[in-house]
Structure 1
Amino acid sequence: MRKNELIHLHTLLVEIAGDFLERGIATRDDLEPYHRLNIGPMALRSCRDDHELAVRTLSTALAVCAARDLGRETSTIPGQHLLGLVTEVEPTDSDPLRSH
């Protein structure tokens, strides 16, 4: 996937995360692994790999929240190791989810 496509996907996932927060499907704690990365979709100067990690982390967090909301098993969702990730990344452009 090209960087611009990845950024577009990142933007869409942030919109879904905002909807999940508003509907009570996700909490700020659920999205904390994503926030710790400090890579928002508007971090255009961040490298493709940073956006890929952010997309994978956010999509995993959203999948866990959706499964939990549906009463489904969450332990089989792939990529959950990303949710325990502790990484030091340079702060970038503002993250739209931080305002929710």
Structure 2
Amino acid sequence: MKKNELIHMHTLLVEIASDFLEEGIATQDDMKAYNQLKVGPMALRSCRADHEIAVRTLTTALATCAAHNLGRDTTTVPGQSLLEPPNGTESTGTDQRLASN
């Protein structure tokens, strides 16, 4: 996916997140991991990898909120590690970024 396509998708996901917040499906606390990244769709100078991580984190948060809203098990949503706060003392050694083509 090209960077401009990724940014477009990022923008659409932010719109969905806004709707989820308005409808009470999600809370600000649910979006905390995404907000801590400080990479919004208008951060055009941010690198592609930063947008990829932001999109993956936001997608995971939205999927978790949707699953919870439907009464489904949220632990089965892939990417749960993206929503956990960084430990800071220990690195897991896993890189959540996709390889750029």
Same fold (TM over 0.5): yes
* 1:58 corresponds to 2:58: yes
CA distance in 2 between partners of 1:15 and 1:43 (Å): 16
User: Where do 5+ consecutive residues of structure 2 fail to align?
Assistant: 88-101
Q: Paired residue for 2:41?
A: 41
SS for the counterpart of 2:21 is helix
SS for the counterpart of 1:75 is helix
Whose RCO is larger (CA < 8 A, sep 6+)?
Answer: 1
CA distance in 2 between partners of 1:37 and 1:86 (Å): 11
CA distance in 2 between partners of 1:55 and 1:11 (Å): 9
8 Å CA contact 1:61–1:83 kept in 2: the answer is: yes
- Displacement of 1:81: 0.3
SS for the counterpart of 2:75 is coil
CA distance in 2 between partners of 1:2 and 1:80 (Å): 25
8 Å CA contact 1:36–1:86 kept in 2: the answer is: no
Q: RMSD of the alignment, in Å?
A: 1.1
TM-superposition CA deviations, 1:14-53 (whole Å, max 9, x none): 0000000000000000000000000000000000000000
Q: Paired residue for 2:71?
A: 71
Q: Paired residue for 1:15?
A: 15
Q: Percent identity?
A: 70
SS for the counterpart of 2:53 is helix
Q: Which stretches of structure 1, 4 residues or more, deviate above 3 A after TM superposition?
A: none
8 Å CA contact 1:31–1:61 kept in 2: the answer is: yes
Instruction: Output the TM-score relative to the length of structure 2.
Output: 0.84
